[in-house]
Amino acid sequence: MNEDLILQHGLTLDEFKVIRKYLNRDLSIEELGIFSAMWNEHCCYKTSKKWLKKLPTDNEIVIQGPGENAGVIDLQDNDGIAFKIESHNHPSYIEPFNGSATGVGGILRDIFTMGARPIATLDSIRFGLIETEKTKYLLNGVVNGIGHYGNCIGIPNIGGECEFESTYDFNNLVNAMAVGHVQKDKIFYSKPKSIGGLIVYIGSKTGKDGIHGASMASDVFSEEDEDEKRPSVQVGDPFMEKLLMEGCLELMSSGLIESMQDMGAAGITSSSVEMASKGNVGVCINLDKVPLRQPLSAYEILLSESQERMLAVIDKKNNHKVREILQKWQIDYEVIGEITDTKRVVFESNNKKVVDLPVEIIVDDAPEYDREFYIPRKRKNKDFDFSKIKLEDMINNLLTNLNYLDKSWVFDQYDSTVMGDTIREPGQSSGIVKIHGTQKVIGASTDCNPLYIRINPYEGMKYTVAESYRNLIACNINPLAITNNLNFASPLDPNIMGELVLSIHGLKTAAIKFNTPIVSGNVSLYNQTNEIPIKPTPVIGMVGSNMDLNKINTNKFCEIGNKILILGKQLTKNFSPYLLQDQKITFNICEFNDLEVLDLDFEKKIANCVLELSDLKCIMSCNDISRGGIFSALLKMQYKDMGFKVKVPDPIDLFCEYSAGYVIEIRSKDFEEVTSFLTKKGAEYLEIGEVIKEGIEINSKKFDYFDIMNKYRNDFEKIIS
């Protein structure tokens, strides 16, 4: 083994020395490939796992936390919810259509591998500045890929986020989340239970697509690398995924499967190694029996990431029944090996062992680094000049910024109502679906505040979790648990490593306070191209529920004449980052003041008030206040011919961010009851105005309602075209 070959496989020379010393022999090229796949960041989390271990992952409703294909929480009455979010960033930059499509396919397999039927998907996508043709190409490819895969397989996309910022110019982010329903007594796991069980291959034939995909996702690259990396991107087939999903769910419901694992990153290598590790057993697999699309070497079979493939363990006596069911669904099936008691991973080809390794060295002895990290310096307070800013200019700044415009162009390409259980479609605070045949609803949202986290990773992460929390609360959904996707640049930079460490600490603090444990997730590092790092973008996917779909709040205005109240605490102008950035007061990251400390107890107090008032049917509509402040929240609440008339001490206040911020619409006749309730609870509120017909009025100044709403609803598509 020469040094160049070792480095090409993504291993450091020190890591290779550890392997060589443990085995006390040379490695085959296939074994080197296995370590390349299993010891990269994408599979073993060697940089982040020290810190991930500190996260809260359990409480009274958690059935399965991190470590399985997806997390599962208890929803009473034998109902469980499985969910997870994962990234497909590098593949979606190189091949936006296939990269994003296979990201959706992979996360769906993580869900139905647990025995859960997928009931919803969400996404979090970020791109560079729209002025470049490259960004337009990436945006169109990613949106088409997400829509194509989800629409073809027939799973509704119910929400997400789409934002644009210069640091994503050469490194767009594509995070896909899926939610599934499972009966608690029918959850499946990847841990094999019996020695001698047959290891079976289920799904599409194996090809060359995706080889070295996992290691490619664990490295930085430049634009010049694109063509070289293109073969590492998988190609998906959603129609095969539909057959695979139905076939696997039938096998599970028939009791014919002992354990199952998705062949995701690193393909048959990771799935078989993970099975062996979880079961404390060995595996012996004959690679010559793997169904192939084309002639492949043993090395290529081991590292292929071809899509729509599963590895399962069955009892020998069930072999015939399993084959019959999969033939009905037109799915390739082959017995390729068996579970052994050796605690070794053995792969054979052409009547010889090409891999023979202890599970221990691959999994338990995988590197865990304690990388150097820096804590950001404390920022000096700075006063900004707001004296020359005009209300008209502030409104215009929002309406010419893609991040504030209606994103219907994006989510209209996704089927959000297929399956017939969607209660709230994309574009509102959170997407909501009901559990089929019941009154129970599941709400989910994805959120991140990269600017906040760049300013102060610890406090910024608290704000991010709180925003996802508020998205659910605004819909009268009780937040339950979190899945997270930690997108960062190179951890070899101590500043970026500090962002990762402090963000995880902030996530821990907020999750404990809200009693929303982290049950699944993904870490995506090395998100930088041409040495340009992305802003830290740890995305929070939060899931919650309400047992009665009739109690769900709308986020849209309901009736002309209703009063508009504000709950929560406004961030002061000098400490409202998106106000400063998006109103063009400062763009220099060094000039921002530190974040105000977020009071999580206050967040909980106001949230509980919203939930109680919602259950009492006192709230007609509700929206959380986030980027763009009250004005942006009100704009999103427009419905049919309804506008708003408000009065505030300082118009700039309408554009500031909030903590525990909500806009609520109430009936005039309920005003005294609602305000008395809030006063009794010690909750701050402010009456600012009312819902009016076809108008936008601020401090008695009238604006062109139709012009503003036309720009808000239609300019996104005009700008990107």
Q: Annotated catalytic sites, by residue?
A: 42, 88
Q: How far is CA 663 from the centre of its chain?
A: 26
SS3 of residue 12 by DSSP: coil
SS (H, E, C) 276-287: HHHHCCEEEEEH
Question: Which residues touch 308 (CB under 8 Å, ≥6 apart)?
Answer: 105, 109, 203, 204, 236, 237, 240, 241, 244
Return the sign of the alpha-carbon dihedral for residues 638, 641, 646, 652.
positive
Pairing of strands 563-570, 658-666: antiparallel
Helical spans, DSSP H, in 414-484: 450-455, 457-474
Please measure the distance between the N-terminal and C-terminal CA atoms of the chain and give it in whole angstroms: 51
Do strands 537-546 and 478-487 pair parallel, antiparallel, or not at all (unpaired)? antiparallel
CA 317 to chain CA centroid, nearest Å: 40
- List the one residue out of 537, 474, 432 whose CA is nearest residue 124: 537
**Encoded tokens for 608:** 């509980």
Note whether 127 and 139 are within 8 A (CB). Answer: yes
Q: Is the dihedral of CA 201, 204, 205, 210 positive or negative?
A: negative
From CA 625, how far away is CA 623, in angstroms rounded? Answer: 7
Within a 10 A sphere around the Cβ of 712, how many other Cβ atoms? 18
CA distances, 405 to each of 32, 131, 389, 644, 695 (Å): 49, 16, 21, 18, 19
Give the closest residue to 361 by CA, choosing from 13, 39, 11.
Answer: 39
Q: How many helices (H) and strands (E) are present in the chain, helices listed first?
A: 25, 28
Collapsing DSSP to helix, strand or coil, 408 comes out as helix
Rounded-to-integer distance, Cα 610 and Cα 477, Å = 10
| Residue 297 CA to its chain's centroid (Å) | 35
What the block records as the tokens of 600 is 């999580």
Name, in order, each residue with C-beta under 8 angstroms of 179's C-beta and a sequence gap of 6 or more: 81, 82, 83, 111, 118, 119, 120, 121, 122, 433, 442, 444, 543
